[in-house]
């Protein structure tokens, strides 16, 4: 299960999506998220799914690798769908005592399930196709206009990137701890939910200790390299918008416009 978490990982391959400027990809993901939450029709989700499929094809990231990231949250998706099925009022299709399934609940559950799947796959593409350093620079440049208002753009960008980068690192660390505990006879599979939760304590405590150790090592490494924040820092490789970024931005505008229109069209 831990190995199935792919959020925050970078997939090194040469592709048109990888060559896009980081700001283009960040804005693209933002537009994609806005569009997903505006969609209220199934054909709107179909358009979003086709668009994501095209981007995955262009990114050359294996689809199986993308789907693997969904395994870690399948229980969350299922739980969300079940809540919508049984908690929505409307036309009753089945009822037993206080439990009832309505047509509106099934419709909303399908919406939520599709939306969550598309959301996870779409946002994962950002880290799959963008190096951590490029992502930091891109977010910093996007936030730089707000630095005049006192917003620490560089620090926020660095914090967000480190947080994303730490996800696979901590997952690997948790996997090592779990295997070490299993070699000592720990059982994480049997028992009820409460017993399984208690069995996770031998993993959580060492994981917290390990995370603080990794954070301390990172801080020491940054200090050893004379890191003093973003003021006066220069870039080894300056990135600029190119023609492909303009084309991608135009396609994003069209895509977002179609999703917005899908909300108001009565089709």
Q: Are residues 111 and 181 in the same domain?
A: no
Domain extent for 180: 154-233
Q: Is 20 exposed, middle or buried (0-12, 13-18, 19+ CB in 10 A)?
A: buried
Which of 14-28, 38-52, 149-163, 220-234 reaches the highest mean pLDDT?
Answer: 14-28
In whole angstroms, give the CA distance from residue 5 to residue 39.
27
Is the per-residue pLDDT at 234 higher than 80? no
CA of 70: how far to CAs of 2, 17, 95, 113, 254, in Å? 12, 21, 31, 12, 28
**pLDDT at site 141:** 86
- In this structure, is residue 140 part of a structural domain? no
The number of folded domains in the chain is 2
Residues 5 and 120 in one domain: yes
Domain for residue 142, yes or no?
no
Burial call 46-76: b when 16+ CB within 10 Å, e when fewer: ebbeebbeebbeebebeeeebeebbebbeee
- The answer to whether 242 and 21 are in contact (CB under 8 A) is yes
Q: Could you tell me if 223 and 246 lie in one domain?
A: no
Same domain, yes or no: 96 and 12: yes
Per-residue pLDDT at 125 exceeds 60: yes
Structure tokens at 180: 């070490």
Residue 258's pLDDT is 87
115-135: average pLDDT: 87
Is 141 part of any domain?
no
Domain annotation covers residue 143:
no
Q: What is the DSSP letter of 41?
A: S
pLDDT at residue 238 in the model: 73
CA angle 174, 175, 181 (to 5 degrees): 85
Could you tell me if 163 and 38 lie in one domain?
no
Whether residues 214 and 159 fall in one domain: yes
Q: How far apart are CA 39 and CA 224, in angstroms?
A: 49
pLDDT of residue 213 exceeding 60, the answer is yes
Contact 69, 4 (CB under 8 A): yes
* DSSP assignment string, 227-252: ---STT---SS-----HHHHHHHHHH
C-alpha span between 236 and 228 (Å, rounded): 17
d(CA 248, CA 28): 8
Give the DSSP H or E segment for 101.
strand 99-102
Residue 2 predicted with pLDDT over 60: no
* 26 found inside a domain: yes
Beta bridge partners of 92: 102
CA-nearest of 42, 20, 1, 49 to 255 is 49
Residues 91 and 52 grouped into a single domain:
yes
CA dihedral sign, ordered 214, 220, 226, 229 = positive
Q: Are residues 100 and 193 in the same domain?
A: no
Residues 12 and 124 in one domain: yes
Measured CA to CA in angstroms, residue 118 lies from 41, 64, 100, 135 at distances of 14, 15, 28, 21
Q: State the pLDDT at residue 29.
A: 92
Q: Note whether 51 and 167 are same-domain residues.
A: no
Give pTM, 2 decimals.
0.77
- Does 32 score more than 60 pLDDT? yes
- 60 in a domain, yes or no? yes
pLDDT (0 to 100) of residue 4: 57
Q: Report the C-alpha gap between 190 and 173 in whole angstroms.
A: 23
What pLDDT is stored for residue 158 in this prediction?
82
Residue 109 lies in a domain: yes
The confidence score (pLDDT) of residue 21 equals 92
113 and 37 fall within a common domain? yes
Residue with tokens 């753009």: 153
Higher pLDDT, 72 or 50: 50
Residue 239 has pLDDT above 90, yes or no: no
Q: Each residue of 134-171: pLDDT tens digit? A: 888 888 888 888 888 888 888 888 888 788 778 778 88
pLDDT per residue over 54-99, tens digit each?
Answer: 999 999 998 888 777 777 678 788 888 888 888 878 777 877 877 7
Give yes or no: residues 179 and 211 share one domain: yes
Name the least confident of 10-24, 84-98, 207-221: 84-98
pLDDT of 106 > 90? The answer is no
pLDDT greater than 90 at residue 17 = yes
pLDDT grade, residue 18 (50/70/90)? Answer: very high
Q: Is residue 160 part of a domain?
A: yes
Q: Is the pLDDT higher at 128 or at 95?
A: 128
């Amino acid at each position: 299960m831990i190995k199935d978490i792919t959020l925050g990982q970078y997939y090194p391959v040469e592709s048109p999506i990888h060559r896009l400027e980081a700001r283009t990809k960040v804005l693209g993901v933002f537009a994609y998220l806005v569009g997903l939450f505006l969609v209220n029709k199934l054909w709107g989700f179909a358009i979003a799914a086709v668009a994501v499929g095209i981007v995955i094809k262009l990114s050359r990231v294996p689809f199986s690798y993308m789907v693997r990231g969904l395994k870690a949250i399948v229980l969350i998706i299922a739980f969300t769908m079940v809540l919508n099925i049984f908690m929505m009022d409307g036309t009753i299709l089945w009822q037993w005592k206080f439990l009832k399934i309505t047509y509106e609940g099934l419709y909303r559950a399908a919406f939520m399930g599709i939306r969550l799947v598309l959301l996870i796959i779409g946002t994962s593409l950002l880290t799959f196709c963008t190096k951590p350093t490029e992502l930091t620079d891109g977010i910093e440049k996007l936030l730089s206009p707000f630095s005049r208002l006192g917003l620490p753009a560089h620090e926020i960008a660095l914090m967000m990137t480190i947080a994303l980068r730490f996800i696979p690192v901590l997952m690997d660390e948790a996997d090592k701890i779990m295997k070490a505990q299993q070699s000592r006879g720990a059982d994480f599979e049997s028992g009820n939910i409460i017993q399984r939760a208690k069995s996770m304590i031998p993993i959580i405590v060492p994981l917290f200790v390990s995370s603080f150790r990794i954070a301390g090592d990172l801080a020491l490494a940054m200090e050893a390299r004379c890191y003093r924040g973003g003021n006066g820092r220069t870039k080894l490789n300056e990135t600029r918008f190119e023609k492909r970024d303009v084309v991608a931005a135009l396609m994003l505008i069209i895509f977002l416009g179609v999703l917005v229109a899908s909300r108001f069209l009565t089709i």
